[in-house]
């Protein structure tokens, strides 16, 4: 039911946005909104500050005339998301503020989580380098002998070459001990005709030696990382930026709607974050953080900076915007910009 309501609202707001005139007067300090030109200025600064972001054109038939054709929206791809929101709900430490040597600037480590959250933490133990090397050498030697013997039995050309090689080695031993004449050399014509000169040695191995399956316990311990493509568009009706996201699983297959909601704070899922059609890209609906409260929040944040005795210019708008929307999608690690002290 909520999805139907959101769909109707989206359609109505799209029509209202079509009738809304383009904002031309700067009011970002007074009201928190920005003009399309200010959006482009802030976007250029974001791309310069954080090169993982870039401008995109989108579908030509959906080009907005109030934005440059080559700067319709911003995009960053393959943003990692290693945890679900439920995994951090009871974590007291979710970030770590790292100060620089001068103490004036710093940055925030988003994934400074409690080590107790990691399912692999209990399995970490001390390991002896010498013991592991010995075990590795013995295991590798046994596997190599098994592979070589199988290859010899299955390939007559290899068997012939192996016999000749053993004969040469035996003759070499006789030379060292008794200074006798050398044995017969390997027949190079036969070696070339066998095809082994050009083929990698792995091609003569039996097929069953190539197939190594992980145990079920090893598969369970692999950290499965989702990735997201994030878009920032300009919303003409609300006159603010709007964040869109589309997720993929560890196999680069699109996430379902419910799976994407797992990476959204439950206070916002299906309310502030809804599935809607992208204004510049055709295709399936994308998750979007609704911009109805963006202007009010940005106004408060700008006022906090001003009260602190600093002057905030419009080119910093998207930097601050990305800071506050992080609370909606806390496990998607997209923010590599500088730390802002409010």
292 a catalytic residue: yes
Counting Cα atoms < 13 Å in the Cβ hemisphere of 28 gives 27
CB atoms within 10 A of CB 176: 9
Q: Which helix (H) or strand (E) holds 96?
A: strand 96-99
Strands (E) located in 128-268 = 226-235, 240-248
Nearest alpha carbon to residue 82 among 118, 38, 40: 118
CB atoms within 10 A of CB 14: 14
Q: Are strands 96-99 and 286-289 parallel, antiparallel or unpaired?
A: unpaired
The packing angle between helices 156-178 and 129-154, to 10°, is: 120
* Residue-wise DSSP of 14-61: HHHHHHSPPP-S--HHHHS---HHHHHHHHHHHHHH-TT-EEE---GG
- Alpha-helical runs (H) found in 262-333: 294-307, 317-325
Reading the block at residue 275, the tokens are 């599935």
What are the CA-CA distances from residue 54 to residues 201, 202, 231 (Å)?
45, 43, 10
Rounded to the nearest 5 degrees, what angle is found at the Cα of 240, between the Cα atoms of 237 and 246?
A: 95
What torsion, rounded to 10 degrees, do the Cα atoms 87, 90, 92, 96 define? 20
Contacts of 264 (CB under 8 A, 6+ apart): 85, 273, 287, 328, 329
Contact of 247 with 226, CB cutoff 8 Å: yes
Strands (E) located in 154-309 = 226-235, 240-248, 273-276, 286-289
Catalytic residue numbers, as ranges = 292
């Amino acid at each position: 039911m909520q999805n139907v309501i959101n769909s109707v609202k989206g359609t109505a707001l799209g029509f209202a946005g079509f009738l809304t005139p383009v904002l031309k007067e700067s009011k970002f300090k007074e009201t928190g909104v920005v003009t399309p030109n200010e959006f482009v200025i802030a976007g250029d600064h974001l791309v310069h500050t954080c090169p993982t972001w870039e401008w995109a054109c989108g579908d030509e038939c959906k080009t907005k005339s109030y934005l440059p054709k080559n700067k319709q929206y911003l995009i960053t791809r393959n943003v990692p998301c290693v945890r679900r929101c439920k995994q951090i709900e009871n974590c007291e430490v979710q970030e770590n503020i790292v100060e620089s040597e001068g103490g004036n600037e710093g940055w925030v480590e988003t994934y400074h989580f409690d080590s107790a959250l990691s399912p692999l933490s209990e399995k970490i133990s001390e390991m002896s380098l010498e013991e592991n090397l010995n075990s590795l050498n013995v295991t590798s030697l046994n596997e190599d002998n098994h592979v070589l013997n199988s290859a010899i039995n299955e390939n007559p050309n290899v068997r012939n070459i192996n016999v000749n090689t053993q004969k040469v080695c035996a003759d070499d031993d006789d030379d060292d001990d008794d200074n006798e004449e050398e044995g017969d050399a390997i027949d190079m014509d036969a070696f070339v005709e066998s095809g082994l000169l050009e083929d990698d040695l792995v091609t003569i191995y039996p097929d069953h030696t190539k197939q190594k399956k992980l145990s079920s316990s090893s598969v369970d311990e692999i950290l499965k990382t989702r990735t997201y493509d994030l878009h920032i568009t300009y919303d003409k009706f609300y006159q603010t930026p709007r964040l869109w996201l589309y997720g993929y699983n560890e196999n680069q297959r699109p996430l379902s709607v419910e799976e994407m909601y797992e990476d959204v704070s439950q206070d916002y899922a299906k309310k502030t974050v809804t599935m809607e059609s992208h204004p510049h890209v055709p295709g399936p609906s994308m998750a979007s953080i609704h911009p109805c409260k963006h202007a009010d929040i940005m106004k408060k944040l700008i006022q906090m900076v001003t009260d602190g005795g600093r002057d905030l210019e419009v080119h910093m708008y998207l930097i601050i915007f990305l800071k506050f929307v992080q609370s909606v999608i806390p496990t998607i690690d997209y923010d590599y910009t500088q730390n802002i002290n409010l």
